[in-house]
């Protein structure tokens, strides 16, 4: 005998909207065969609720002005980092080429080609010494820092002038939840 007590509270894995579980078989009902029941008496479990698709928030923003002072500070730091990377890269490249004997081989070839009888030719090894190469690299890096900083700052002034006419650059930013 089956007792009816009203609607059951929803279980954690069940939906709470209008679902009532099927009645359990009583003692008078016997399962058919060794499998434990027929297809008509099989208990159906509810499907898990579909996950909602993630919502993407979008915002349209306009860059109306670039502060020249902040552009100058950021471009200065960026160009300092670029200068340091240049100096390190040239030093590593020079050390690798020297370890491979490139300067000796090429220097000997140039010395033979430019020398005449009793005079020795052009000495590439003294011209491309580590100290000379690093001196030129540091000078170029310092000039690069000054030029990049000045050009970026000038670029921010020009952007501010043109943004007054055109309204600036519009960006669309998106955030996934």
**Residues in CB range of 143: below 8 A, 6 or more apart:** none
Split at pLDDT 50, 70, 90, the class of 155 is very high
The CA distance from 17 to 120, in Å, is 99
Split at pLDDT 50, 70, 90, the class of 91 is very high
* Residue 59: inside a domain: no
Q: Exposed, middle or buried, 78 (CB in 10 Å: 0-12/13-18/19+)?
A: middle
The CA distance from 143 to 134, in Å, is 14
* Residue 38: inside a domain: no
HSE (side-chain half, CA atoms, 13 Å) at 124: 16
* Residue 96: inside a domain: yes
Position 156 pLDDT exceeds 70: yes
The whole domain housing 77 covers 70-159
Q: How many CB atoms sit inside 10 A of residue 149's CB?
A: 20
Q: Exposed, middle or buried, 82 (CB in 10 Å: 0-12/13-18/19+)?
A: middle
* Residue 64: inside a domain: no
pTM of this structure: 0.59
- In a 3-state reduction of DSSP, which class is residue 10? coil
**Residues in CB range of 55: below 8 A, 6 or more apart:** 177
Average pLDDT, the chain: 81
pLDDT at residue number 9:
59
Split at pLDDT 50, 70, 90, the class of 128 is confident
pLDDT at residue number 77:
97
pLDDT at residue number 103:
82
Please tell me the total count of domains within the chain. Answer: 1
Split at pLDDT 50, 70, 90, the class of 142 is very high
Q: How many CB atoms sit inside 10 A of residue 31's CB?
A: 11
């Amino acid at each position: 005998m089956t007792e009816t007590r009203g609607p059951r509270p929803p279980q954690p894995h069940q939906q709470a909207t209008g679902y009532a579980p099927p009645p359990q078989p009583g003692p008078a009902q016997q399962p058919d065969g060794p499998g434990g029941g027929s297809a008509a008496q099989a208990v159906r479990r509810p499907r898990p609720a579909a996950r909602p698709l993630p919502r993407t928030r979008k915002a349209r923003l306009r860059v109306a002005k670039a502060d020249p002072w902040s552009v100058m500070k950021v471009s200065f730091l960026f160009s300092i980092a670029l200068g340091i990377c240049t100096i390190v890269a040239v030093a590593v490249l020079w050390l690798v080429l020297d370890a491979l004997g490139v300067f000796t081989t090429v220097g000997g070839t140039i010395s033979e080609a430019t020398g005449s009888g009793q005079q020795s030719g052009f000495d590439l090894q003294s011209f491309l010494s580590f100290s000379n190469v690093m001196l030129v690299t540091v000078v170029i890096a310092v000039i690069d820092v000054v030029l990049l900083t000045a050009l970026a700052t000038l670029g921010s002034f020009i952007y501010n002038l043109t943004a007054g006419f055109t309204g600036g650059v519009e960006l669309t930013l998106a955030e996934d939840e």
